[in-house]
A = this chain, B = another copy of it.
């Protein structure tokens, strides 16, 4: 049998990214926390935490972490059921998602769930192709991903499509595309890219210009600042329709080539846990996305 105090110490160190802060949170000394993690490692017979910055779990550590989060969710529902809600306080809900979903629609989608239950959100952001690893490592109970491949022991449902258009300001159009948009003019004009993992601009160039390779790019890892840099006339970039609507109506932004867009499918992945919170989370996400995102069959 695993000692759950050891498991909690281990999970808290990873969550806080520090033995010291974990000790503070657990009201223990730092050496007690180190001791518990070490005992757990001896019990399992493997190293569980790689002690370099950032602290991260080994493959064995990932399995334990996943187990711990599943146990916690089941336990908090048990206590809720026993009328122990006050003492228990809040249930932690760890979710992995992409920055654009978080910026544009996620808060509105999840609001009904927050209204009903005392929940604490723990949101982890990465590119939509990368959120899977949060789920695999057991850091989250569900994630929004562009992949439709369920992970082992998990389920996957379709949420809908996010449509991205290449947008520019009218000054930028006059400056770089006075004679029209072709590969040559486009490769002279700088793009705006969220970070090195953002491949939407690559996909646009590949889809509509059959171009693969390097191009001038700003790197701006903030959805707001990304759109602001475009609106100020310093680049072109892929913006989701949910974010651009008002700016397009005010003509602060225009489409690079009207009608050309890149659709990103979004899926909801979660562990196959029959917990109330997990089930309701999936329900509110699906209900919201059915009403507000484009249906997935549109791309067929």
Contact = CB atoms under 8 A, between A and B. Distances in A.
A216 interface: yes
A60 interface: no
Given A15-B196, A123-B219, A219-B121, A25 B214 contact: yes
Contacts of A121: 218-220, 229
Contacts of A180: none
A98 B124 CA distance: 18
Contact of A232 (B107, B120, B216, B223): B107
A17 B219 CA distance: 14
A208 interface: no
Contacts of A123: 218-222, 225
A90 B24 contact: no
A197 B125 CA distance: 15
A213 interface: yes
A16 to B, nearest CB: 6
A122 interface: yes
Main secondary structure of the interface of A (DSSP, over half): mixed
A225 B95 CA distance: 14
Contacts of A285: none
A190 interface: yes
Interface string A202-221: 00000000000110111111
Contacts of A36: none
Nearest to A190: B120
B122 A218 contact: yes
B90 A228 contact: no
A234 interface: yes
A103 interface: yes
Contacts of A225: 102-103, 106-107, 123
A99 interface: yes
Given A217-B120, A218-B120, A234-B114, A224 B103 contact: yes
Contacts of A217: 120
Interface string A184-205: 0000001000001100000000
Given A114-B234, A123-B219, 16 more contacts: A24-B214, A102-B220, A102-B224, A103-B222, A107-B229, A111-B232, A114-B232, A120-B217, A121-B218, A121-B219, A121-B220, A122-B218, A123-B218, A125-B221, A125-B222, A224-B224
